[in-house]
Amino acid sequence: MRYAYYPGCSLQSGAKEYDLSMRAVFARLGIELVEIEDWSCCGAVHAEGQAKINLPARNLALAEVQGMTTIVAPCSGCYLNLRRAAKQAASGKKVRQQINMELPGELKITADIEVLHPLYLLIEEYGLEKIRAQVTHPLTGLRVASYYGCMLTRPKDRFDSPEKPQGLDELMRVLGAEVVPFPYQSKCCGGALAISHSDVTVKLSGQVLGSAKERGAEVVTLGCPMCHTALDLYQHKAERALNQTFELPILYFTQLMGLALGIDREQLGLERHIVSTAAVVEQVVKRESEQAKKRTREQASEVV
């Protein structure tokens, strides 16, 4: 399996741990990621007019130059923008011509291109059973709240329900974790206003964190760098504003996969979080040694 990889701006700076763990996990699963050469910003939610389509479209055309037909975009925002542009380019010959006219230089989109979020790529194209077979360090007993945020499942697409999404929960169960359902799983974290109206971000992310904590989650997992900023970096602000303690580590789903697949922890960027991930790692290590002991005991009893 071979895919074009569009990391997006966040995965190069604040969310480097998402990039690191994603590359490590995909390499372990035997999925090749080819980074799009000279990729550029998708415009996030700030592109205006036709640039909304043209900025992501440049990256689609670049992927085509490299002979790729499917792009993996791990940031939910980039994923939505790239997918929207790809759909638009595929909607008709005339629309595609219009887009091509505005692309710089010789760049052109000539064929349909698919844009996938890594979570749904793993579920639909790779298969959860194949992942289950490779889990060496199951996250047994780890109480995980799966947080979908907004743009991963909205606007409605063919992958999951926008109201009650299941994909991330299913993946977590495959890794052996105990999924904690919580009502804020696909409510907004307010990440979009983190700079200009941070009080709103604090309020909304506080609701998400509070709800997960109340349901007994030990860790929140997600697949969006914006949500990660709101829930991890702003967690202390939310704690102060609500006068509550959360201490909820926020891990990318690729990091939890990395732990479950037994990938060297150094490769997963676990030390780059604001809220310490040590408790999660410790629990996985503890379970690992318990299981190792159990195995030796079993072997010993077999020998006897």
Partner 1 sequence: MDNTLNPFLLEVMEKPGGDKVQQCIQCATCSGSCPVIEEMEYGPRRIMYLIQSGAEEQVLSSRDMWYCVSCYSCTSRCPREIPIAELMASLRELAVEKGYAEDKESQFGQAFTETYQHHGRLFEPELMLRYYLRSWDIKGLLGMVPLALPMLLKDKLPFWPERIENPAVMTAMRQDEEPGEAHSSKKRSSWWGWLIGALLALGGALVGALLWLVELSLEEEL
Please report how close the Cβ of residue 7 comes to partner 1 at its closest, in angstroms.
10
> Is residue 190 within 8 Å of residue 200, measured between CB atoms?
yes
Please report how close the Cβ of residue 53 comes to partner 1 at its closest, in angstroms.
9
Does 48 engage in binding with partner 1 (CB under 8 A)? Answer: yes
- Say how many CA atoms lie within 13 Å of 249 toward its Cβ: 22
Does 106 engage in binding with partner 1 (CB under 8 A)? Answer: no
Please report how close the Cβ of residue 129 comes to partner 1 at its closest, in angstroms.
30
**Euclidean distance between CA atoms 96 and 89, whole angstroms:** 5
Cα 285 to Cα 139, 185, 246, 282, 291: the distances in Å are 10, 27, 23, 5, 10
**Euclidean distance between CA atoms 184 and 278, whole angstroms:** 25
Please report how close the Cβ of residue 272 comes to partner 1 at its closest, in angstroms.
5
Does 267 engage in binding with partner 1 (CB under 8 A)? Answer: no
Binder among 5, 18, 26, 39 for partner 1 (CB under 8 A): 39
Q: Residues touching partner 1: how many (CB under 8 A)?
A: 54
Does 44 engage in binding with partner 1 (CB under 8 A)? Answer: yes
56-86 burial, b if ≥16 CB within 10 A, otherwise e?
A: bbbbbbbbbeeebebbbbbbbbbbbbbbbbb
Token pair belonging to 250 = 């926020």
Identify any residues that bridge with 115 across adjacent strands, giving them in sequence order.
71
State how far Cα 29 lies from the chain centre: 16
Binder among 148, 154, 171, 212 for partner 1 (CB under 8 A): 154
Q: Which stretch binds partner 1 (CB under 8 A): 89-97, 245-253, 266-274, 291-299?
A: 266-274
**Euclidean distance between CA atoms 144 and 154, whole angstroms:** 22
A 10 A CB-CB count for 47 gives 16
Q: Which of residues 54-83 bind partner 1 (CB under 8 A)?
A: 54-55, 58
Q: Using CB under 8 A as the criterion, what x/- string covers residues 175-214 for binding partner 1? A: ------------xx-xxxx-xxxx-x---x----------
Binder among 1, 51, 65, 278 for partner 1 (CB under 8 A): 51
> Is residue 40 within 8 Å of residue 107, measured between CB atoms?
no
Does 155 engage in binding with partner 1 (CB under 8 A)? Answer: yes
Does 252 engage in binding with partner 1 (CB under 8 A)? Answer: no
Cα 164 to Cα 116, 183, 230: the distances in Å are 20, 9, 21
Token pair belonging to 156 = 């409605």
Q: Which of residues 158-177 bind partner 1 (CB under 8 A)?
A: 162-163
Does 241 engage in binding with partner 1 (CB under 8 A)? Answer: no
Q: Pick between residue 43 and residue 210 the one whose CB is nearest to partner 1.
A: 43
> Is residue 71 within 8 Å of residue 113, measured between CB atoms?
yes
State the residues that interact with partner 1 by CB under 8 A: 9-10, 12-14, 16, 38-41, 43-52, 54-55, 58, 101-105, 150-151, 154-156, 162-163, 187-188, 190-193, 195-198, 200, 204, 233-234, 237, 271-274
